[in-house]
Amino acid sequence: MFIKNNNLTIRNATAKDASILCKWWNDGSVMAHAGFLNGLGISEENIVQQLSGDTDETTRRLIIEVDEVPFGEMNYRNKGNGIAEIGIKICDFSKQEKGHGKKLLSMLINALFNDLGYKKIILDTNLNNHRAQHVYEKLGFQKVRVNADAWKNQLGELQSSIDYELEEKDFMNYSD
């Protein structure tokens, strides 16, 4: 996948990105929202191996760039039956709160619906991640359920999440 819109780019992650992904994934401040307050503890070699298994039909890890500089990642996973699960992480905190997430999500969702033929997009987020919820709802995502105390983070603390879904008819595209 390669999508460019003005100064924003979404592209397939490659083995050349393993070092920056390793830095981000092992940084507890970057990974805290996903419950990994101590980071993943993953090696570059392991990341290269994971990336080698990515395909457009199954799962794809993506690098997001502003002005050709990586500042985060996205991904999508084919869940079957025309459903894709997505995720986004803006890893450079100085690039947050600038509207990039809404535009990048729009770019990805548009490609998933129009280029890859998905019928529904799903995602989940931590119940405490109000900023993400606001963005998802602006894009047209609908809350499906709240999963109260459904999992534990690395510190053993119970966490809750919200499941969202989006059908093409409800999609509000902000990539233009």
C-alpha triplet 164, 10, 82: angle, nearest 5°: 40
Please tell me the predicted confidence (pLDDT) of residue 120.
Answer: 98
pLDDT at 127 over 80: yes
C-alpha triplet 64, 37, 102: angle, nearest 5°: 30
Domains of the chain: 2-170 (3.40.630.30)
pLDDT at 175 over 90: no
Please tell me the predicted confidence (pLDDT) of residue 33.
Answer: 82
Strand bridging mode 120-126 / 83-90? parallel
Contact predicate 3/108, CB 8 Å: yes
| H or E stretch at 105 | helix 100-114
Per-residue model confidence as pLDDT tens digits over 28-86 = 999 988 889 999 999 999 999 999 999 999 999 999 999 999 999 999 999 999 999 99
Per-residue model confidence as pLDDT tens digits over 106-116 = 999 999 999 99
Q: What is the mean pLDDT of the chain?
A: 95
